Amino acid sequence: MEHDAPTSATVSRHAQAERLWYFRPPPENAQATPQITEEFDLILMKNFRLNRLFDPDSKRCLDVAVDHGFFNELAFLTGIEDLAKAVDVLIDANPDAIQLTVGQAELLQRVPGKSKPALVLRTDVANVYSKELPRTLFSRMIEHPVEQAIRLDAVCVVVNLFRIPDQPEVTDQCIENILHLKPECDRYNLPLMIEPLVFRPNAQAGGYMVDGDITKILPLVRQAVELGADVIKADPTDDPQEYHRVIQVARVPVLVRGGGKADDLQVLKRTEQVIAQGAAGIVYGRNIIQHANPAGMTKALLAIVHQGAKAEEAAAFLK
């Protein structure tokens, strides 16, 4: 069966889309149909927002997470007790994005000017981070998350996908959240970031601790992609040299989480390694906001993510 040649409008959309880093062009003989046209427009609009998240030259991103107060854990507030001040420090350091909640997003968005970091909006709240887990665990999504994100001028929304030992009900809640969120993101052309998190057993780890077992991370990352993630925010693996396997199963851009607080050089070296493995960037929280010099750590990480600096070179920003 022969296909009609793509229309000039479709060809124009192809040419425009191919200049965008995230777009994967369709087959050359793709027929111009309303469905294809709508799909191209959706991809293009999501890319326009992603263009505000990812650096135009390096095509990578440093997103600083300061949404920790959402989770009702005292230890998470260290470094962000005065959140307005913390956000101002980060804005001056100029990461690509800052991750905030609906109640705190205005601290970023009220700042005038067009060169400030983009907003990534956290859409779900959970009670799974305590050293002693409560009787009933939950992961709940805010109401009308995409509409709230658009009103706040967010470039992306983020939602969790937990894998917690012996807690399948929480995973079920996460999947239900994603199943509700994905169609709304597509309807309004808003990129969806899914955060697949593998927890170690609470009795073993004594609270929220990342499980870096790649055999657990890979299938959960893949599930997040199958559920419709436009961007993945994934755990680091125990061996950073294996991270290319995470990139391979994801197919979409992967941003690596910072995990728990670590030594400065360890954080910088791990960042250098995962970027070399093909990560599209990082999403760090406590390793920046709980640092004695959060602006310096932000600049050090930016040097690695965008300029390919070595860990030892980037460490100069901390002095």
Q: Which tens digit of pLDDT belongs to each residue from 85-100? A: 999 999 999 999 999 9
pLDDT band, very low/low/confident/very high, at 210 (cuts 50, 70, 90):
confident
Q: What is the CATH number of domain 54-318?
A: 3.20.20.70
More confidently predicted of 313 and 16: 313
Across the chain, how many H-helices and E-strands are there? Answer: 13, 10
Contact criterion met (CB below 8 Å) for 76 and 69: yes
30, pLDDT greater than 70: no
> Can you tell me the distance from the alpha carbon of 272 to that of 315, in angstroms, rounded to the nearest whole number?
12
Nearest one of 264, 248, 258 to 311, comparing CA atoms: 264
> Can you tell me the distance from the alpha carbon of 139 to that of 124, in angstroms, rounded to the nearest whole number?
7
pLDDT digits (tens, 9 = 90+) for 243-265: 999 999 999 999 999 877 778 99
Amino acid at 107: L
DSSP string, 243-269: HHHHHHHH-S-EEEE--S---HHHHHH
Report the pLDDT value the prediction gives residue 74, as an integer from 0 to 100.
Answer: 81
Q: Where are the domains of the chain?
A: 8-45, 54-318
Report the pLDDT value the prediction gives residue 19, as an integer from 0 to 100.
Answer: 39
26, pLDDT greater than 60: no
pLDDT band, very low/low/confident/very high, at 200 (cuts 50, 70, 90):
confident
Residues listed for the chain = 319
Is beta strand 124-126 parallel, antiparallel or unpaired with respect to 139-141? antiparallel
Nearest one of 206, 210, 201, 251 to 231, comparing CA atoms: 251
> Which H/E stretch holds residue 121?
strand 118-122
Report the pLDDT value the prediction gives residue 185, as an integer from 0 to 100.
Answer: 97
pLDDT band, very low/low/confident/very high, at 16 (cuts 50, 70, 90):
very low
> Can you tell me the distance from the alpha carbon of 209 to that of 133, in angstroms, rounded to the nearest whole number?
13
Contact criterion met (CB below 8 Å) for 105 and 152: yes
> Can you tell me the distance from the alpha carbon of 156 to that of 306, in angstroms, rounded to the nearest whole number?
20
Contacts of 103 (CB under 8 A, 6+ apart): none
Q: Which two tokens stand for residue 174?
A: 């996460």
Beta bridge partners of 234: 256
pLDDT band, very low/low/confident/very high, at 297 (cuts 50, 70, 90):
very high
Average pLDDT over residues 1-28: 43
Report the pLDDT value the prediction gives residue 205, as an integer from 0 to 100.
Answer: 60
Contact criterion met (CB below 8 Å) for 200 and 178: no
Distances (CA, A) of 300 to 67, 95, 116, 276, 314: 22, 11, 18, 16, 5
14, pLDDT greater than 70: no
Q: Which residue has the tokens 């929220």?
A: 208
> Can you tell me the distance from the alpha carbon of 248 to that of 184, in angstroms, rounded to the nearest whole number?
27
49, pLDDT greater than 50: yes
pLDDT band, very low/low/confident/very high, at 43 (cuts 50, 70, 90):
low
